[in-house]
Structure 1
């Protein structure tokens, strides 16, 4: 396939979605021009400029670096249509009205370049109907490209062709969306609301219907249908508030208008409470009230019977909480099905409703079951898709229970389950997902995954229950494995080190594993990559030192027993820095404390855009002692190149003293935790491929470990300058006495201590100071309070 390079994107419509899609293009270094209507008065581009100002206020942040809003080119339909000619991809994202979209298309069509792809970000209108009126050439280059809100964070993009769309442009677009913008692409049929919203919104409506039937309040339903079910923690009603009740009502209206012959049609009735809330202007979070309303510090919930807000905070019953903790999916589902508890019956009912719906509709909404599961996982934040859940819970057993409920009139529709559920290959294989692919009723066979070139970059693709083709925790050849680490390779020239600890915390076994991996890599490989199998599924790179594992040592031998462990950690990091082959850290998710120090000592970092990096030790009353502060001094001296080091050091100092954490990999570069030549990756499934490529390239280019050199430090001058600012902060009540102590200790280390400005010290001098301060703090009652508080509540204690 020839290279498809998107040199510039145009986004038509600067509303919430359009502006955020433009922002994400800029995150990925893709030049973008954002269009909207000309302003009625003042600046012609006023509409777009206001949208850009609003981007900086949105949370979660659409821009990985807020300053990059200035990189979005502004335009309006009256003056700037010729700019469309420079764009390879044009994404229309205006309001969901067919007539408005058609009017705009007439205006822009003459200006679209002859090879450009034209796509609509509609969330449910017919793509075929949108393409009416185009000439054959433009029809072939038109399709749907449906991003999910917020576009930076939601992995899903649905790609929807019409019968006239050229297969080649779909493949090109899938490659761009996957690799450049980092998305998970699912191809959908041109049916109302496509896959994710069709099934997801049905699921929400079914949940509302069953909640009313079983008499459950909105807060209890949200507690039952959130993280306890492995779904978005906002549950059902709070998710509706976040999305906007008017937006949800619009999607429901699309279903009412276009799905009259659907056997589940009665379920698409707009719930009465939704109509009432919208009528009263309670549109959800953006209006300050929806199913919930915040009053002062209290979160109130709507009580439909009283048509008013009452105290919230209702939770799932303990018995149900225990059932949902059951690890075996079949036993968990059996317990819900068999229980007479109304909350259990409610949960079984919402599972049954979705299983029933996806079985009946699979043939019309998607090519295969895999696409439905990924659409719900990536678009709605479910840990497992609905078909996966069904299959893991026992295909035949669930099918027979669903049939019983349909026959007994308990289901939301009397439509029978399709024949393929009970006989043929699916029944024989006990499910829709197998190692040979996923079931497609349309093709009447199991279909394999797409093999487009872009997927060669994903060493391990997203796994599915039943389709556990190679995954990163079991694949390859193991060199060494214990409870904490696995050192392995893929029968090639790069060694891989993966942590197995919870949140990949670093204890003594991990430290030993780092040493083992470096020794083996130096002997037999071109490089070492530190990568974890759950990197793409929202795992952590490393949440830092394993405080839990230090407790027994502390109890038996006091503070002194911990010192040798700190020495080993420092030595492991130094061994990484000065290894004779390149060590590449493949970073995604949290890299905090010791996890941040680990990546600072790698020869190179390859980081997912969603990397949250920082030295956070002051939160538990400690200071970084794995070489993080030593690296701050080394890097500041290097950057200063002979000028005043303190100007460069201040920045590193403040980040550590305030426990600042980057909100993206781009921000981590501005904070100095990532270097400007480190590689930022948009699709976390590509991390391992890119990290290995980097390690090989560095080795092949003649990699040598950095030379050990002496470090010029700021000494007394730096310590006094920072100390004076700390006194002001303490006396002004901005920081506590203990924070002042921690701040002074950090200053003492990064400045090199009470020595002359410009003195040269070696790295060990700085490491010794880190260790000494760390040991002193471990004995401090205020620090011990912070550590215990963090371990008990997971929240920092301010003392």
Structure 2
């Protein structure tokens, strides 16, 4: 890999090295391994033996001791929660070592990431060692959260400086989308492009280009927002609970809001960030804003640094009925029981649909309300500060908005939020209140531009200079919302829409509450099948919701069951089954592209597809037993068919054409009976729910585009729907084997009597009922077994209790 003016590909980055095996270093190493890279993980050599090492007779010269820190980090990866690796077996891709003994091996790395302590002197010392051993073309990056990139590269070789930049991963590296790339004046442009490609395409990240300023983009804006929220909480006399109720989902922010977020970040960490901005800022006003808040200093001085210390703005204590959360009283710095918060303003924000509507409700329901005035004050200050930073911390408003969405999980970035509440109206109010509005915002309004963003067909434009520029679209991304806004909707119901995504391919998007499958979605599926069959080359199943689909409409089923409307329940199941069969028998290719939670009915909607394109963060599982039921939308039928196909495939059974169904059936029965869910798209295969044609792509945002490509490839190959086949089943003997396992679990006290009842009915369906072993049955026969078992379980009081409990709490009930 050599930079010689020609652009090299990120696919050629095969070997990486990470220096520093702490939380961030280990997390980055794990995610590089997730991307298929071979990773060398290095740390310092320990200066003393542990008691266990002394007991084993080891010395400081032993490799096990010298590599201890990195080896321990690798050992923790397979058991970490949340999981760092998509597959625990991928720890084999990471080799632990130490910087003293293995520095020469840095010469084999295509990319070296430094992630040691946030001290400039220590980082410079590490980079001196790196510079001495790296290849001339090796890229070197630092994972600093705010130190000066230029200062770290001082004194290094020209080659090092041309290949050096910041890659600021957010924690945890696997799950957080944002990576801030910060080049220096010496960084070669092609290196920035290569890093961007590697982070986006190989690691599945969202990249923003930041300037080399204190704390870059997200932490700079986010920390400012936290500081002004703390200031206004004190100024308006609010409690921490009240402030969190107003600055969380009601404002389009995460549930952790402000003070819970501060506890998670660590109050000492926040003070470090505050100091970094204040000490490096040349703006007196900014230095005043980033002064150390007295309450934070007192809490940190007392060891109350947040969750890691067990106490911060909240603390957890053991009470009579288990753990209880107490909140800090800001006037006394003592703790007391959390107090509920409610008001018409908060209720209005909760009831509003969408972040823009919530923000308007929060600010405008009663502008004189103390809560509304507090919310306006914090939002106003954050918007103005963000506008002041354009050109300072980033060149465009889009990089600032993306950084806050991807790094702090805001639903809307500051400029998107400003548009949502009304740019001209809010600026007028700011000026009436004596605020100074940045000149470029004033100029934008004077020029007749009423918003920071506008749309032009399917693309979004953002305000830049004297006009608008096209927002750079993420590579391989298809935005359904933009397509709908440009009139590409083919048909729509309350729960789903069919959208033209180009090249004569359409996408069926679920958009019911939680994307739960009900009659509206099923009707859309059946209408879409007819439409696609007549007019389109193929169909993609995907959406842009928080989750792909959390299952069927449980509330509807429970209401019908409790009313004894058994014919209605059966009609719902038959309608579901028929809709899935329509998808499976569609004479055009169907490709599903699930993401995040894809549970129960969501899985059953994917299995009829000719191919499934999983995003890495897909949590996939047939979980119906958790609510006292079994899959009945074709899930059991498809599992039985998968077991038969694997048994008959070469290597799948005793021999090709004469496979033993039982081993495959046993594994799938365990997966479904225990309601197992994958912890990643890659783990779906280990659960037995991935077929040979299915695959995982690294970039979640590319899943719809990749599914579209798969549809077109199937179409070009001369697609024909799979013929209906009879399914070979294990029969009554296979069912007996499964029931013996269930009985053993019951006698061992591992499952309840009701669990055993559910598992017995599941065994009956998956084995194909009481037919002879090896019998071949129709798909409809298996669907009939599913329906019968489902109906009988719906009539069980304990199943109805489980359904009610899940609806009320979101958690399964064991009864």
TM-score (norm 1): 0.91
**Aligned partner (choices 219, 226, 231) of residue 253 of structure 2:** 231
Q: Does 1:688 align with 2:716?
A: no
- 3-state SS in 1 of match to 2:268: helix
- Superposed CA offset, 1:424-443 (max 9, x none): 45762122223373234xx5
Alignment of 1:239-638 (within 5 A): 239-296=261-318, 297-323=323-349, 325-326=351-352, 328=357, 331-332=360-361, 334-335=363-364, 338-341=367-370, 343-406=371-434, 416-424=436-444, 428-435=448-455, 437-440=461-464, 445-450=467-472, 455-460=474-479, 471-475=482-486, 477-532=488-543, 534-535=544-545, 539-550=546-557, 558-638=565-645
Q: Which residue of 2 aligns with 1:204?
A: 226
Structure 1 678/222 Cα, relative in aligned 2: closer, same or farther at 3 Å? Answer: same
Shift of 1:62: 1.7
Determine if contact 1:426/1:432 at 8 Å carries over to the other structure: no
Rounded Cα–Cα distance in structure 2 between residues aligned with 1:479 and 1:360: 43
Give distance in 2, aligned partners of 1:253 and 1:361. Answer: 18
2:199 to 177, 198, 205: 177
Partner of 1:786, secondary structure, is helix
Measure, in 1, the Cα distance between the counterparts of 2:579 and 2:351.
Answer: 38
Judged with a 3 Å threshold, the aligned counterparts in structure 2 of structure 1 residues 488 and 268 are, in CA distance, closer, same or farther, namely: closer
**SS of equivalent residue, structure 1 residue 14:** coil
5+ unaligned residues in a row in structure 1: which ranges? 408-415, 462-469
Pick which of 378-387 and 388-397 moved more.
388-397
Note if 1:15 corresponds to 2:22. Answer: yes
What SS class does the counterpart of residue 266 from structure 1 fall into?
helix
- Which runs of no fewer than 5 residues in structure 2 stay unpaired? 1-6, 48-59, 655-659
The answer on whether the counterparts of 1:323 and 1:335 sit within 8 Å (CA) in structure 2 is no
Write the distance in 1 (CA, Å) between the matches of 2:539 and 2:487: 15
Aligned length: 773
8 Å CA contact retained: 2:363, 2:373: no
Q: What are the superposed Cα offsets for residues 182-234 of structure 1, whole Å, 9 maximum, x if unpaired?
A: 11111111110011000001111111111122222223322222222221111
Contact residue 71 and residue 97 of structure 2 kept, 8 A: no
Is contact 1:224–1:316 with CA below 8 Å preserved after alignment? no
Cα offset, 1:386, TM superposition: 1.4
For residues 608-649 of structure 1, what are the alpha-carbon distances to aligned partners after superposition, in whole Å with 9 as ceiling and x for unaligned? Answer: 111111112122222110111122222122223344433222
Contact 2:10 2:202 in 1 (8 A): no
Q: Which SS does the other structure have where 1:373 is aligned?
A: helix
State the match for 1:36 in structure 2. Answer: 43
CA RMSD of aligned residues (A): 2.5
Query: Which residue number in structure 1 is paired with residue 70 of structure 2?
Result: 48
Contact conserved, 2:483 with 2:499, CA < 8 A, in 1? no
Name the counterpart of 1:784. 800
Is the contact made by 2:111 and 2:139 (CA closer than 8 Å) also made in structure 1?
Answer: yes
Q: Which moved more, 1:97-106 or 1:507-516?
A: 507-516
Q: Is the Cα contact below 8 Å between 1:749 and 1:769 reproduced in 2?
A: yes
Counterpart Cα distance in 2 of 1:330 and 1:205: 20
Task: Report the Cα distance in structure 2 between the residues aligned to 1:212 and 1:29, rounded to whole angstroms.
Answer: 49
Contact 1:368 1:447 in 2 (8 A): no
State the match for 1:412 in structure 2: none
Q: Are 2:278 and 2:286, in contact at CA under 8 Å, matched by a contact in 1?
A: no
CA distance in 2, matches of 1:513, 1:397: 41
Separation of aligned partners in 1, 2:599 and 2:469? 41
Deviation of residue 365 (structure 1)?
Answer: 1.5
For 1:514, what is the secondary structure of its paired residue? Answer: helix
Does the alignment pair 1:653 with 2:669?
A: yes
Instruction: Return the offset for 1:75.
Output: 2.5
Q: Secondary structure at the match of 1:264?
A: helix
Alpha-carbon distance, 1:472 to partner: 3.9
In structure 2, how many angstroms separate the alpha carbons of the residues matched to 1:577 and 1:248?
53
CA–CA distance in structure 2, aligned partners of residues 490 and 683 of structure 1: 18
Residue 742 of structure 1 corresponds to 758
Within 1, Cα distance between the matches of 2:741 and 2:339?
Answer: 43
Aligned equivalents of 2:266, 2:811: Cα separation in 1: 30
Q: 1:450 to 1:478 in 2, by over 3 A?
A: closer
Residue 742 of structure 1 and its aligned partner are, at CA, apart by 0.8
Judging changes above 3 Å, is the alpha-carbon distance between structure 1 residues 500 and 333 closer, same or farther for their aligned structure 2 residues?
closer
Distance 1:444 1:201 in 2: 30
CA contact (8 A) 1:14 1:48 kept: yes
TM-superposed CA distance for 1:553, in Å, is 6.3
Distance in 1 of aligned mates of 2:466 and 2:138:
35
Task: Name whichever of 141-150 and 752-761 sits farther off.
Answer: 752-761
| 1:465 alignment partner in structure 2 | none
Residue of structure 1 equivalent to 2:734: 718
Change (3 A) 1:486 1:314: closer
Conserved 8 A contact 1:476-1:490: no
What are the equivalent positions in structure 2 for 1:71-86 lying under 5 Å apart? 71-86=93-108
Whether the 8 Å CA contact 2:728–2:775 is kept in 1: the answer is yes
The separation in 2 between residues aligned to 1:356 and 1:548, in whole angstroms, is 45
SS of 1:118's partner is strand
Tell me how far 1:101 sits from its aligned partner.
0.6
- Select between 476-485 and 689-698 the one with higher mean Cα deviation: 476-485
- Residue 316 of structure 1 and its aligned partner are, at CA, apart by 4.4
Deviations 1:508-529 (A, max 9, x none): 3432332333344344443221
